A and B are shown apart, each in its own frame.
Chain A
Amino acid sequence: DIQMTQSPSSLSASVGDRVTITCRASQGISNNLVWFQLKPGKAPKSLIYAASSLQSGVPSKFSGSGSGTDFTLTINNLQPEDFATYFCQQYHSFPYTFGQGTKLQIK
């Protein structure tokens, strides 16, 4: 199975900040990576697919980059609604696997 190592596990930031979350795959996954946001009691929301493509309806403050084994998610101009948990997931091969998540908290 492909292991996905996500960091940091938690992050404190202020409204208006820019943050970066990283995800590393244990083997090359091309660009078959998605980032999504999870809030308690709500459906997960996919943000970035194919490592860098913005999902329809997602604001451009979210961006992704990377290919192969190293990936990043950047969120610009943090707003209160952005404080949530973020996950990466590889869909290169089965079983699909996930990063451990990054909990983004208000400083």
Chain B
Amino acid sequence: QVQLVQSGAEVKKPGASVKVSCKASGYPLTTYYLHWVRQAPGQGLEWMGWINPNSGRTNYAQKFQGRVTMTRDTSINTAYMELGRLRSDDAAVYYCAKEADSSGWYDYWGQGTLVTVSS
């Protein structure tokens, strides 16, 4: 069965970077686009961008351009999201989500990774 398993919680200092992984099982990562979404405490959900795991092509939300990098390692069926120059308002739960088909909705999500930003 399809599963997306994310890496564990992270604590980072302001100005640092965090890299979250999302390991896919039950299907080839290259088959469907993978998106990243975050939810800050008490806030709504925010779309960060997507990666085409087959080509490596990415599309980032304007808000995160210049700070986010989405990559993948197809040999281990894993995608990554790295966010740099962390600020306190980047503290959030970060999710990866798999597109169901080319229409764009997500049929499977990762369990989330809590990122804490604190000096």
**B95 to A, closest residue via Cβ:** A44
A18, CB-defined interface residue at 8 Å: no
Beta-carbon contact of B45 and A55 below 8 Å = no
Beta-carbon contact of A98 and B110 below 8 Å = no
Tell me which residues across on chain A come within 8 A of B103, comparing CB atoms: 32, 49-50, 91
The total of chain A residues at the interface (CB under 8 A) is 23
Q: Which of B35, B62, B100 has the most CB of A within 10 A?
A: B100
How distant is B78 from chain A, measured CB to nearest CB, in Å? 17
B109, CB-defined interface residue at 8 Å: yes
- Return the CB mask of B78-119 against A: 1 if under 8 Å, else 0: 000000000000000001010010011111111110000000
How distant is B98 from chain A, measured CB to nearest CB, in Å? 10
Tell me which residues across on chain B come within 8 A of A91, comparing CB atoms: 103-105
Tell me which residues across on chain A come within 8 A of B61, comparing CB atoms: 94-95
Beta-carbon contact of A44 and B109 below 8 Å = yes
Give residues of chain A (67-107) contacting chain B, Cβ–Cβ below 8 Å. 87, 89, 91, 94-101
Beta-carbon contact of B112 and A89 below 8 Å = no
Neighbour of A50 across the interface among B35, B44, B45, B105, CB < 8 A: B105
B4, CB-defined interface residue at 8 Å: yes
In the complex with contacts A42-B111, A43-B4, A43-B112, A98-B44 CB distance below 8 A: yes
B59, CB-defined interface residue at 8 Å: yes
A46, CB-defined interface residue at 8 Å: yes
How distant is A8 from chain B, measured CB to nearest CB, in Å? 15
In the complex with contacts A41-B111, A43-B112, A44-B95, A95-B47 CB distance below 8 A: yes
Beta-carbon contact of B44 and A94 below 8 Å = no
**A4 to B, closest residue via Cβ:** B44
How distant is A66 from chain B, measured CB to nearest CB, in Å? 15
How distant is A35 from chain B, measured CB to nearest CB, in Å? 10
Tell me which residues across on chain A come within 8 A of B106, comparing CB atoms: 34, 36, 44, 46
- B residues in contact (CB < 8 Å) with A: 4, 35, 44-47, 59, 61-62, 95, 97, 100, 103-112
